[in-house]
Amino acid sequence: MTAALVGLGGMVGALLRFAVDTAYEALRARRRQPSSLVPPFPVGTLVVNILGSGGIGVLWGLLLNSALSSPVYTALSAGLAGGFTTFSTFTVAAVLLWRGRRRVAAVVHVLAHTGCGLAAASLGLLLTGAV
């Protein structure tokens, strides 16, 4: 049963990520910023990874406080948050920025994902009183 819930959560998470990316691309199009192989800065990916890190922090805190069962935690963290966040898109964007000679943007991208992700996860744990 847990595996089915993880799969369902992954599908929902992936659809949510698609919605965020689509909304960001529509906003970029309105600002007349054409798409290219070298993204200006992958804001959509950063947003989903920060939200996902914070969400997993909250879920972990709820699990530690016995407010969430282990199967529900697994379904929501590995499924929903796992489908929502994206390490592969993050890494490809960093490589494309670097190869496109946008070195500062590439470094900022990596630092922003890492720093903001850690901060969001910590905040999630703090909000649940787990730390």
- At 7-36, the pLDDT tens digits run 999 999 999 999 998 998 888 888 766 656
Query: d(Cα 72, Cα 70) in Å, to the nearest integer?
Result: 5
Is there a contact between 71 and 82 (Cβ–Cβ < 8 Å)?
Answer: no
Boundaries of domain holding 108: 2-127
Query: d(Cα 15, Cα 86) in Å, to the nearest integer?
Result: 12
Distance from chain centroid for Cα 7: 17
- At 84-124, the pLDDT tens digits run 999 988 999 999 999 999 999 999 999 999 999 999 999 99
Kindly report the pTM of this predicted structure: 0.86
Query: d(Cα 3, Cα 120) in Å, to the nearest integer?
Result: 27
Instruction: Work out the average pLDDT over 62-85.
Output: 94
Number of domains in the chain: 1
Is there a contact between 41 and 105 (Cβ–Cβ < 8 Å)?
Answer: yes
Taking the alpha carbons of 73, 74, 76, 78 in that order, is the dihedral positive or negative? positive
pLDDT at 38 exceeding the cut of 60:
no
Place of tokens 């964007």: 93
